[in-house]
A and B are shown apart, each in its own frame.
Chain A
């Protein structure tokens, strides 16, 4: 018999099978194996915390073939690691658009050679930036799927089998989080190129400060907080760019900056090495400075 329930069920199976072909088993620690996503034919994206060794890493593909792999790069802050297969053999995963609250999602994993495993849920929340035990995560997705053992590094997929994000329980909090696919892919691109994610450096000390209502009128937007500069390091990008003690930093590249977390998030990745527009309030008046972001050692 066929009805909408059967059709939905078949669609879920098809999604699990499609994405399952790009979901691999990652053996890079002594305990429990974990999962990974085929990012490119020779590259596997997985969770950083499941990679506990650099030697003798193996990856089992969906067809059962076992390949040796080497660590190509890692970013503990976002709990992502990239592995390079000894030869190109993987089928790269397809990625989905932005996660929407309430959308159906399947968490997939390949914790054993017994086959793909799945858990159903919905996207419960989208948030960020958030501090992680070893850095910052710009954005995250939370779901009510079941994070089975060995699911870290595996994909969260939509009803079409496209990757919404990479699941990890490596941040603690007693729950699993999902790193949005576009963010995970951009980290992966940096790991492929540099082996690590470069963090931006301005050379300032700052603290959160309230922005008065008249100042908000001058800014022409509602923004209750910014960062007041309380120190500028000698010969730093901030000094070169003209930033001064007493300035209130309110935005970077048109993104309002309310606190340190947002500042860090906007200084990572693409911004490094580039000249960025830093919006400040100086003596109650808005100004924009162009500052070339340095690399944090």
Chain B
């Protein structure tokens, strides 16, 4: 098999593995965004996609829409965690490695409402953005993002989630909230809420 076919088949594998964890988050008032399954019926998305938290619906790759309840949000990092009654689906793997400029990245989402679109590029910079409560770390990439990518994952070449795409920062630049911030956010959610455990690293 030549290099380009190996590349295509590796990309195909990546799509196959990640497809099940990407969801559509519908907010009746503000339209649709993307989200990723974080285990035990938890859905991670952008705060601006969750909107006011009412009338949220989540559509999975193989079913839905399901009613979703907002369980936690972080407006500065533009993160929201939703709960649906569907369990037993695979969860995304959040990368524990340091993001490295130049590494290949793939944004998975629903740009302009088109479902399950993968766009590729490289990680451009590990930097910070100003928010109302100070600076937060962000990832910048040269992947083309569009409305509908918000809340979707930025994946590394191994299919791990490096960050959550958030078009709300950085104007026309492609920005993602890094996995380190997401992990903290999920850990806090776990502490403040009894019941199902927060997903581990194993899919």
Report which A residues bind B (CB closer than 8 A). 1, 3-6, 8-10, 12-13, 15-17, 20, 106, 112, 114-121, 145-146, 148
| Chain A, Cβ-Cβ closest to B123 | A118
Neighbour of B13 across the interface among A3, A12, A13, CB < 8 A: A3
A sample of 29 inter-chain contacts (CB < 8 A) reads: A3-B157, A4-B3, A4-B10, A5-B7, A5-B11, A5-B157, A6-B10, A8-B104, A8-B157, A12-B104, A13-B101, A13-B102, A13-B103, A16-B101, A17-B100, A17-B102, A106-B102, A117-B101, A117-B125, A117-B140, A118-B101, A118-B102, A118-B123, A118-B124, A119-B121, A119-B122, A119-B124, A120-B122, A146-B124
CA distance A121 to B101 in the complex (A): 14
* B114 adjacent to chain A (CB < 8 Å): no
CA distance A181 to B22 in the complex (A): 43
**A117 CB contacts on chain B under 8 angstroms:** 101, 124-125, 140
How many A-B pairs fall under 8 Å by CB?
81
CA distance A219 to B164 in the complex (A): 64
CA distance A289 to B127 in the complex (A): 60
A145-B100 in contact (CB<8A): no
Neighbour of B104 across the interface among A1, A5, A20, CB < 8 A: A5
**A145 CB contacts on chain B under 8 angstroms:** 142
Within the complex, what minimum Cβ distance (angstroms) separates A188 from chain B?
Answer: 25
Number of interface residues of B (CB under 8 A): 25
A120-B7 in contact (CB<8A): no
* B126 adjacent to chain A (CB < 8 Å): yes
**B142 CB contacts on chain A under 8 angstroms:** 118-121, 145-146
Q: Of A5, A15, A17, A115, which is in contact with the most chain B CB atoms at under 10 Å from its CB?
A: A5
CA distance A10 to B127 in the complex (A): 20
Q: Of B123, B124, B158, which is in contact with the most chain A CB atoms at under 10 Å from its CB?
A: B124
**B158 CB contacts on chain A under 8 angstroms:** 1, 5-6
CA distance A144 to B142 in the complex (A): 11
Q: Sorted from nearest, which 7 A-B pairs have the closest CB atoms?
A: A16-B102, A9-B157, A9-B104, A5-B10, A120-B122, A4-B6, A117-B125
* B156 adjacent to chain A (CB < 8 Å): yes
* B67 adjacent to chain A (CB < 8 Å): no
CA distance A117 to B127 in the complex (A): 10
Report which B residues bind A (CB closer than 8 A). 3, 6-7, 10-11, 13-14, 100-104, 121-128, 140, 142, 156-158
**B104 CB contacts on chain A under 8 angstroms:** 5, 8-9, 12, 120
Within the complex, what minimum Cβ distance (angstroms) separates A196 from chain B?
Answer: 35
**B121 CB contacts on chain A under 8 angstroms:** 119-120
| Chain A, Cβ-Cβ closest to B3 | A4
CA distance A31 to B14 in the complex (A): 42
B122-A114 in contact (CB<8A): no
Q: Of B102, B103, B121, B124, which is in contact with the most chain A CB atoms at under 10 Å from its CB?
A: B102
CA distance A120 to B62 in the complex (A): 34
| Chain A, Cβ-Cβ closest to B141 | A119
A12-B122 in contact (CB<8A): yes
CA distance A114 to B135 in the complex (A): 14
Q: Of B11, B128, B142, which is in contact with the most chain A CB atoms at under 10 Å from its CB?
A: B142
Within the complex, what minimum Cβ distance (angstroms) separates A33 from chain B?
Answer: 14
Within the complex, what minimum Cβ distance (angstroms) separates B49 from chain A?
Answer: 25
Within the complex, what minimum Cβ distance (angstroms) separates B95 from chain A?
Answer: 12
**A112 CB contacts on chain B under 8 angstroms:** 127
CA distance A6 to B6 in the complex (A): 11
A106-B122 in contact (CB<8A): yes
CB-CB under 8 A for A114 and B7, given A3-B13, A13-B100, A120-B121: no
Within the complex, what minimum Cβ distance (angstroms) separates B5 from chain A?
Answer: 9
Within the complex, what minimum Cβ distance (angstroms) separates B143 from chain A?
Answer: 9
**A148 CB contacts on chain B under 8 angstroms:** 124-125
**B128 CB contacts on chain A under 8 angstroms:** 114
**B6 CB contacts on chain A under 8 angstroms:** 3-4
CA distance A8 to B125 in the complex (A): 18
| Chain B, Cβ-Cβ closest to A148 | B124
**B126 CB contacts on chain A under 8 angstroms:** 114-115
**A20 CB contacts on chain B under 8 angstroms:** 101
**A121 CB contacts on chain B under 8 angstroms:** 142
Within the complex, what minimum Cβ distance (angstroms) separates A100 from chain B?
Answer: 16
Within the complex, what minimum Cβ distance (angstroms) separates A53 from chain B?
Answer: 26
CA distance A112 to B101 in the complex (A): 14
Within the complex, what minimum Cβ distance (angstroms) separates B63 from chain A?
Answer: 28
| Chain B, Cβ-Cβ closest to A151 | B124
| Chain B, Cβ-Cβ closest to A18 | B102
B7-A118 in contact (CB<8A): no
| Chain B, Cβ-Cβ closest to A121 | B142
